[in-house]
Structure 1
Amino acid sequence: MDAEDGPAEHARFAAYLVALEQVADADEIELVDGVLADPDPVMARAAVVRHLDRRAARLCPEPAWEEWAEAMARVVVRHPFLVRRLREWSLFRAVALRLPWHPGDLLASSDWLQLQTAAGASPEALGVLAESGRTKRIRNTARASLTRRVEG
């Protein structure tokens, strides 16, 4: 790659995103593991978190979620940020599907998850975040979502 084209890790990042977007389900875990073996761990984790977010959003309501999340947890186990993101997707799924969840888990979660949830979730979750969300933006978003539910 020429210096004019940008750093090599940028090209690998772009290639990883394309490969992760197109990977067959049966080959996904092996590909994620390969990406995480890249010599630039920050870039590799960034590519994998984008993939994880995309796949989790698509699989969230599906029965295939459980098997996928378990397999993904095994491959990201040595990457605390990815482990946390996967755990937070599991919590988001529980809230969205009205499965059992604990308000303390939601309040201990990242701003990312609180904001995702505040944008429109169960009334119980919105109430928790409207009252005790970590930031003013999260509390206001949750209040606005609650108001839309009441008015709609």
Structure 2
Amino acid sequence: MNVHDIPQNPDEHVRFAVHLDRLRHVADPDEAELVSRVLTDPDRTMAQSAVLRHLDRRAADLHPGPAYEEWAQAMTRATIDHPFLTRRLQEWSLFRAVTLKLPWRPDDLLASSDWLQSKTAVGTNTEAVEILAELGRTKRIRNAARNGLNHRSES
């Protein structure tokens, strides 16, 4: 099976598993093309879910290093017609900035999804955690951030 083939199995669970496997094993030069192809699956929700898992896995591996920027740009181009996926990539970029203490804006963090706020609330950037302890979107996020700050002060 090559990058251009989309599994034709009518069972979306089988196609989902195949997509995940192919995304997990794709060579870097073929990754953006495969992501684009997976997103042509007739079951749009399933396809986006498979790509989301892939993006999260790859971003988690790449975000600390310099390869992240080029990868994120390529994945943004591959997912441009899928607002949820492009937003997730933007949030990974914000997470990267917060984590690596690169320039970021508190308003961007406060406008971010529960997913990103929750991930950041248990992180190591004290400024971001303090902001979320005070102004995080949900009680759960605020509590997680406060717990993280309290844990640090006890150490």
Q: TM-score, normalised by structure 1?
A: 0.94
Deviates more, 1:114-123 or 1:45-54: 114-123
Q: How does 1:2-151 map to 2 (within 5 A)?
A: 8-151=11-154
Task: Report the RMSD for the aligned CA atoms in angstroms.
Answer: 0.9
Per-residue deviation, 1:12: 0.2
Q: Partner residue of 2:6?
A: none
Per-residue deviation, 1:26: 1.2
Per-residue deviation, 1:27: 1.1
Q: Which segments of 5 or more consecutive residues in structure 2 lack a partner in the other structure?
A: 1-9
Could you tell me how far apart the structure 2 residues matched to 1:115 and 1:135 are?
A: 9
Could you tell me how far apart the structure 2 residues matched to 1:112 and 1:121 are?
A: 16
Q: Percent identity?
A: 65
Could you tell me how far apart the structure 2 residues matched to 1:63 and 1:133 are?
A: 29
Q: Secondary structure at the match of 2:123?
A: coil
Could you tell me how far apart the structure 1 residues matched to 2:83 and 2:135 are?
A: 26
> Which has a greater percent of helix?
1
Per-residue deviation, 1:64: 0.2
Aligned residues: 146
Q: TM-score, normalised by structure 2?
A: 0.92
Per-residue deviation, 1:120: 1.6
Structure 1 residues 82-122: Cα deviation after superposition (integer angstroms, max 9, x where no partner):
01100000000000000000000000000000000011230
Q: Name the amino acid aligned to 2:83.
A: P
